[in-house]
Amino acid sequence: MSVSVWILGDQLLIDHPALAKAESEFGRQAVTVIMIESHASAQRYQFHAKKLILIFSAMRHYAAMLSQKGYMVDYRYAADFTEGLKVHLKAHRPERLIMMAAINRDGIDYQNRLSEILNSQVTKLENIQFLHHQINPYPKAKPEDAIRQEAFYRKIRGHFRLLMTSENEPEGGQWNFDKQNRNPIPDDVTIPEIIRFSPDHITLEVIEEIKQKFDAIGTYEDFDLAVTHEEAQQAAKDFIEYRLPFFGTYEDAMRQQDSILYHSKLSPYVNLGLLEPLKLAQMAEQAFYEGDAEINNVEGFIRQMVGWREYMAWQYKRLGSEVFEANYWGFKRELPAFFWDGKTLMNCLKHVLERVLKDGYTHHIERLMVLSNFCLLAEFNPKSVFDWFSSLFIDAYDWVMVPNVYGMGLFADGGTVGTKPYIASANYINKMSNFCGDCHYDRKKRVGKNACPFNFLYWHFLLKNESILKKNYRMARMLYNLKYLDENERQKVRQQAENFLKFEKQE
């Protein structure tokens, strides 16, 4: 008897449950692994070149690793998954096809229909790439229940005893150290270089193939990401040693001349299965107990890894497919051209967009407080913003982008994920970065010639949505400041915002 194991491109786990099940029941000699590069999946969006290179190269390296371990691997290039699976089944005639459940909703729906599509016996195992599956923190929660990230995080962290002195007592006597983690980076601080990896012959082949097959965005030549478990582990160790000690302290900071700062840039590897979130959290915890990093830095990273990441995946399952129609504000405006070429006089947007267009990556505060902040203030259609993020970012998948864009970034879900709209004027950007110093626009001006768009758009948003925002107690302080705007100033804000939002000129 033979059995096939289908491993998806974002399930590149060292210990894959479908592989373990097949081998334990049938023996390694009876197992064939099927992996498929789907042309249709790679064309779902006009993806960033580096994302396609990363996924396909990591898949091919994973297949090579399995072959070295003695597994028979059938690696196929197909128009879509159905074609690849049908050709595989015809060639190998397995008695059963075993797989781990997909993460994204479309993949799950497809797998649920797979037995009928293939007319074959199919076994689907639970996905183990997320920790909340192991404890089911809110088994009776309804989609409309307001379950917040902080409470969710405490359940996950307490269960896995991360930075805990006892079952209910966090290390340091408090659950988070946010107040210590809101510092801009001084100009004289030298940021450590992030580790980079030279493409091997497999990756170089992938690069050439993608150039020929796909109309991708971004650059190919300087690809330097990890594509194996060993390289990803090196990247993790590099972060723990060189950047974790200041991660929390500067995690909300931005800098014109540096895109990574003290962030990890490990999310692309975790989302592919090359790294495991719990092990990363434990590595950070060990650094604290060994005296290599202060608690605010370690807790901040652990909160991202087992709090924020898990919460996003959990919310994704709750939101349902109807979230793609969510548009709490009723915005219809499409993204302007400069989101695709970076040509804008707004210095913060220019640098962040250039980073995304070049590398397919920028750290979380630039995503939230520059990109999403601008998208919300400029009244962009949530679906357009979602498609843009999904196309450009190397760590973007539906499960993380849906709750982040529709929820946290744009508040288009009306508050299921986040507790308030994350909006800010130029004052915040100036406080946390050095973008404003040589910008064409004046960060101090609300209206008038060269006034920063973040300023008049911020006040325009508050004025236009005041009746809605009054319902949210967390917006009270922002709304209170409207009293300082007389009717003449309000009219100037409205007029300048409306003129700017026509986007007749890219500045």
Per-residue pLDDT at 365 = 96
Distances in Å between the alpha carbon of 300 and those of 153, 191, 296? 12, 19, 6
Residues 359 and 375 in one domain: yes
Residue 73 placed within a domain: yes
**Residue ranges for the chain with pLDDT beneath 50:** 506-507
Residues 42 and 189 in one domain: no
**Segment 154-213, tens digit of pLDDT:** 999 999 999 999 878 999 999 999 999 999 999 889 999 999 999 999 999 999 999 999
CA–CA distance, 470 with 150 (Å, rounded to integer): 24
Structural domain of 401: 338-500
Q: Are 318 and 141 in contact (CB under 8 A)?
A: yes
For the four alpha carbons of 250, 255, 258 and 264, in that order, the dihedral sign comes to: positive
Strand partners, 258: 255
Residues 375 and 486 in one domain: yes
Per-residue pLDDT at 251 = 96
Sheet (strand 72-78) strand order:
72-78, 31-38, 3-6, 96-100, 122-125
The total of other beta-carbon atoms located within 10 Å of residue 467's CB is: 7
CA–CA distance, 190 with 193 (Å, rounded to integer): 9
The total of other beta-carbon atoms located within 10 Å of residue 462's CB is: 21
Q: Which two tokens stand for residue 178?
A: 């946010």
Residue 327 placed within a domain: no
Domain boundary among 285, 319, 353: 319
Per-residue pLDDT at 318 = 84
User: What's the domain count of the chain?
Assistant: 3
Q: Which two tokens stand for residue 455?
A: 């300023």
Domain boundary among 101, 125, 149: 125
CA–CA distance, 297 with 287 (Å, rounded to integer): 10
Query: Where is 73: in which H helix or E strand?
Result: strand 72-78
Spell out the residues 6+ positions from residue 280 whose beta carbon is closer than 8 angstroms to its own: 236, 266, 270, 305
**Segment 307-349, tens digit of pLDDT:** 999 999 999 988 888 888 899 999 999 999 999 999 999 999 9
CA–CA distance, 213 with 211 (Å, rounded to integer): 6
Collect contacts of 86-93 with beta carbons under 8 A, ≥24 apart: 86/118, 88/4, 88/32, 88/34, 88/36, 89/4, 89/118, 89/120, 92/2, 92/4, 92/32, 93/2
For the four alpha carbons of 264, 265, 269 and 270, in that order, the dihedral sign comes to: positive
b/e per residue, 48-78, with b = 16+ CB within 10 A? bbbbbbbbbbbbbbbbebbeeeebbbbbbeb
CA–CA distance, 503 with 229 (Å, rounded to integer): 45
CA–CA distance, 253 with 496 (Å, rounded to integer): 29
Q: Which two tokens stand for residue 6?
A: 């289908």
Distances in Å between the alpha carbon of 235 and those of 130, 195, 269, 303? 21, 6, 9, 19
Residues 137 and 114 in one domain: no
Residues 116 and 160 in one domain: no
pTM exceeds 0.85: yes
DSSP label at 465? T
Residues 24 and 144 in one domain: no
CATH for 30: 3.40.50.620
* Residues recorded for the chain: 507
Domain boundary among 106, 125, 144: 125
Residues 366 and 486 in one domain: yes
Per-residue pLDDT at 504 = 58
DSSP assignment of 408-454? IIT-TTSSSS-SS-----HHHHHHH-SSGGG-SSBTT-SSSTTB-HH
CA–CA distance, 83 with 92 (Å, rounded to integer): 14
Residues 310 and 343 in one domain: no
CA–CA distance, 223 with 208 (Å, rounded to integer): 12
Residues 121 and 102 in one domain: yes
